[in-house]
Amino acid sequence: MQLNKEEIRILIIEKLAGSIEPADDLLIGQLINEHDDVRQMWLEMSEALRSAESGGFNPDADPQQQWNRIAPLLANPIRSSERHVMAIRIMAAASILAIVVTGYLWLRSAKSSAKSLEESSIAKVKIKVPTLRLPNNQVLELNSNTQKKFRVGDAVFEIDNNTLSYKTGTGNHDQWIFSTPPGIDYKIELSDGTAIWLNAATRLKFPASFGTAIREVDIDGEAFFNVAENKKSFFIVHTPATEVLVTGTRFNVSTYDTNKIQTALVEGSVTVRNRIKREIKLKPGYEAEFTGEAGFSTHPFDSVEVLSWMKGIYYFRNTPLKELSIVIKRWYDVD
């Protein structure tokens, strides 16, 4: 069996966590014995874990204290029971291996033993749900008790497999706000056929129906757009510091880091511009980053990694603990 470096690293994490399957344990043991590079990886990760447990793991903040706060949440994930538990694939530096191992063990336990979790002393976490805010400030909660079809004014909504769609009159231009809480992603289909996948802790503002000349939405968080083509009507995505202009295309926008807004183009063509109308055009396979200090920059991106959040997976490579904690907060709603 041919395994790549990341697959070998996952097996080592499982072995260190004590959650490895017998067949995988035999395989990784054989690889450690027969391959010097695998043996070196095993020794480095084992030593990193021992150092962490003995008190040598001490970045800016106390990681054990932080972990004590998030471990109960990892053991009782707050994602909808209809969704799979998010598999966080943390390929970070050995300096944060203690968090990787502990997190992986908790996640494996959460997936395989719901009954034991119910009987444990772990504190229950109140589940938050996606919401739709209407112009009169009425807030609709989309939970397990929400009817699959319901009406609000002249709009008829339908919920199917964590997807919200609706039909409304063309004259209804009310502004709606759809929000996902930490730990929940959701899909929404707009009146023009545009589909938007919202990551956790994301806010989307949009009109019930679009006009004929222009289609505009506001996003704060992260979302993947599959924009319905309409050459007569531009689609504009407003972020806190940029605008994305498209006709019909597929792209990802992330504003989680307010100092670095990212737009990754999968298909089609987009123009990204800032508030002073300086703009840059993207071609598929390229990502634009905008910072207030440096302005725009572009580079190729790995679509597997950038879009992995849509499958509940996150990749981290040499990621500082400070940046890792931001993702943990977004998924488990802790500081």
CA triple 266-270-276, angle to 5 deg: 135
Three state DSSP letters for 20-54: CCHHHHHHHHHHHHHCHHHHHHHHHHHHHHHHHHC
Taking domain 131-301, whether its CATH number is 3.40.50.10420 is answered by: no
Q: Tell me which DSSP letter residue 310 carries.
A: G
What are the extents of the domains in the chain? 5-119, 131-301
Average pLDDT over every residue of 149-156: 90
What is residue 6's predicted lDDT score, i.e. its pLDDT? 73
Which pLDDT band, with edges at 50, 70 and 90, does 85 fall under?
A: very low
Reported as a single tens digit per residue, the pLDDT across 272-313 is: 998 887 899 999 999 999 998 889 999 999 998 899 888 877
Q: Which residue has the higher pLDDT, 9 or 125?
A: 9
The mean per-residue pLDDT over the stretch 152-176 comes to 90
Question: What residue type is 9 in one-letter code?
Answer: R
Residue 83 has pLDDT above 60, yes or no: no
pLDDT at res. 203 = 97
Closest CA to 164 of 129, 135, 137: 129
Is the model's pLDDT at 233 over the cut of 70?
A: yes
Mean pLDDT of 134-160: 90
Task: Report the distance separating Cα 278 and Cα 99, nearest Å.
Answer: 42
Q: CA separation (Å) from 252 to 224, 288, 296, 311?
A: 4, 10, 16, 14
Q: Which residue in this structure is represented by tokens 């391959």?
A: 35
Q: What is the pLDDT of residue 330?
A: 76
What is the predicted pLDDT for the residue at 11? 83
Q: How confident is the model at residue 82 (pLDDT cuts 50, 70, 90)?
A: very low
Enter the pTM of the model: 0.66
Does pLDDT of 328 surpass 80? Answer: no
Q: What is the pLDDT of residues 98-113, one digit of tens each?
A: 444 444 444 444 444 4
Model confidence at 263, pLDDT cuts 50, 70, 90, reads: very high
In the block, which residue shows the tokens 């043996």? 39
Average pLDDT of the residues in 165-191: 92
Indicate the residue type of 280: I
Q: Express each pLDDT in 24-74 by its tens digit.
A: 888 888 888 888 898 888 888 777 666 644 544 344 445 455 445 544 544
- Per-residue pLDDT, 322: 67
Rounded mean pLDDT of 269-273? 94
